[in-house]
Chain A
């Protein structure tokens, strides 16, 4: 089991460029999430997908779009990157039943926008 995988691990973009962050999980989880982590700000939820076919905005969705491609994959797209989007991005997933509220995190993508 790989758990939650994210690509790329590092990325540098220029202002205005676009990119897609990829996330996949092999735990058959229903729910998937995208967070950003900034110094002193903790984790902030960008978007989430409660189940395949649904997506919803989180706390800080502006400037981002998401796609739940299938049950395994959940991608995050920056259409026109801005320096304020410099951050570490984490994807997470959670299952159902007794363990439904535990989240499993990927290793993160460190994004710098210049």
Chain B
């Protein structure tokens, strides 16, 4: 079945460092891909998305490109801030997951030190 695999955390970086969180997926069709972020004590919120191959989603300095050939959707940010400390979830959804169900990765916790 469809699945999402993301790198295990925690990831610890210093402020202004470059961030990459790897995400790969398995899907039978052409899903939409997402990154969600969860700040401490809160629910998940959508960070960015891409709906077809080669699309780049971006928001708040974060970017991810939908790579069909490598089945990947890696999250990147050029210069992280302490306020980016959170848990990041890669996810996929689309017609082949039932039209509305979302498959989430296990989450990657990011700590950014001042």
Contacts and interface: CB of A to CB of B under 8 A. Distances in A.
Contact of A31 (B43, B100, B105): B100
Interface string B33-65: 010100000111110010100000000000000
Interface of B: 31-32, 34, 36, 42-46, 49, 51, 89, 93-94, 98-102, 104-107
A73 B46 CA distance: 21
A64 B41 CA distance: 24
A42 B100 contact: no
29 contacts: A31-B100, A40-B106, A42-B105, A42-B106, A42-B107, A43-B104, A45-B101, A48-B101, A50-B98, A90-B43, A90-B44, A92-B44, A94-B102, A98-B51, A100-B99, A101-B31, A101-B32, A101-B34, A101-B94, A102-B46, A103-B36, A103-B44, A103-B93, A103-B102, A104-B46, A105-B43, A105-B44, A107-B43, A108-B42
Nearest to B6: A42
Given A106-B43, A108-B42, A48 B100 contact: yes
B13 to A, nearest CB: 22
Contacts of A103: 36, 44, 46, 93, 102
Contact of B100 (A40, A94, A106): A94
Interface in A41-100: 41-43, 45, 48, 50, 58, 90, 92, 94, 98, 100
Nearest to A99: B49
Contacts of A107: 42-43
A73 to B, nearest CB: 17
Contacts of B106: 40-42
Most chain B CB within 10 A, of A4, A43, A48, A105, is at: A43
Most chain B CB within 10 A, of A42, A50, A90, A106, is at: A42
